[in-house]
Amino acid sequence: MEQSLIAGYVVKEFARHTEVDAAIFNSFADLSAERLGPAIVVVDQASIEVAERARSAFDGVRVVVVFTLRPAVAMRTVVRRVRPEGCLSTMDSMREFGVQVSRIVRGEMVVSSSLSAYLGFDARNKRFDPPENGVLEVLTPRQLRSLRLLAQGRSVKETARILETTPKAIDNQKTRMMRKLGVRDRVELARIAIREGLIEA
């Protein structure tokens, strides 16, 4: 799904189900639209605090998180803190997204199939068991940005140009990342990035 369509589509899908009161609170929608006692609160992965406030403010509220990015470490952090009743992905088709929303409205716990492995979701027991520490948690945000570009096959020069720094700085970051992650070459770095969900395979 394109980023520009996400907010409107989430609102539209939940609005189709008049039998449940769903409030959309996220960085795409105006948080001042808060209503009393919604049954479902929908947030994006950047709005963990909103989900936590909703849990404490509204008895029995169910939280649904819409993930727009796929760094596994960040997703696992959200799941550990919020323990949502639903996890949807903007990487799914609009049709899949609509079916998942319908299931959530019916009271089912739904986790997008494109997310379940990253989130450690146990479908049989309907619970999350995310790994406590992802290997990429040892990297700084700047190193993660460099790793994402390098793992996509970009050259050191190209990565430096995109990140507006020097090739020497990227080389230094690459060396530090390899030391932190215990790998010896760029191929192993790319494998870790794929395994941890930083880039698509």
Contact, 65 vs 45, CB < 8 A?
A: yes
Between 3.40.30.10, 2.40.30.130, 1.50.10.20, 1.10.10.10, what CATH number should domain 135-195 receive?
1.10.10.10
DSSP state of 25: -
Instruction: Give the pLDDT confidence of 181-200 residue by residue, as tens digits.
Output: 778 888 888 888 887 777 77
Would you list the domain boundaries of the chain? 3-128, 135-195
In the structure, what pLDDT confidence band is assigned to residue 77 with cuts at 50, 70 and 90? Answer: confident
**What is the length of the chain?**
201
In this structure, which amino acid lies at residue 137?
A: E
Is residue 118's pLDDT more than 90?
no
Asked which of 5-19, 36-50, 142-156 is least confident by mean pLDDT, the reply is 5-19
Q: For the chain, what percentages of helix, strand and coil (3-state, to nearest 5) are there?
A: 50, 10, 40
Over residues 129-141, the pLDDT tens digits come to 765 556 677 788 7
If residue 43 lies in a helix (H) or strand (E), which one and from where to where?
strand 40-44
Task: Identify which of 151, 138, 143, 132 has the alpha carbon closest to the alpha carbon of residue 198.
Answer: 151
Give the model confidence (pLDDT) of 20-33 as tens digits: 666 655 444 443 34
Q: Which helix (H) or strand (E) holds 23?
A: strand 22-24
What CATH superfamily is the domain 3-128?
Answer: Response regulator (3.40.50.2300)
Query: How far is residue 3's CA from residue 90's CA, in Å, rounded to a whole number?
Result: 8
Rounded to 5°, angle at Cα 192 from 188 and 195 = 135
Confidence band, pLDDT 50/70/90 cuts, at residue 1: very low
**Does pLDDT of 145 surpass 70?**
yes
C-alpha 170/C-alpha 147 separation (Å) is 9
R_g of the chain computed on alpha carbons = 19
Average pLDDT estimate for 132-161: 84
Looking at per-residue pLDDT, the higher value among 2 and 149 belongs to: 149
> How confident is residue 156, by pLDDT bands cut at 50, 70 and 90?
very high
Most confident of 4-8, 113-117, 129-133: 113-117
More confident position, 197 or 158: 158
Among 25, 91, 72, 74, residue whose Cα is nearest residue 53: 25
Q: Are 181 and 192 in contact (CB under 8 A)?
A: yes
CA distances for 140 relative to 120, 135, 146, 147, 150, angstroms: 23, 12, 10, 10, 15
Q: Note whether 3-128 and 135-195 share their fold.
A: no
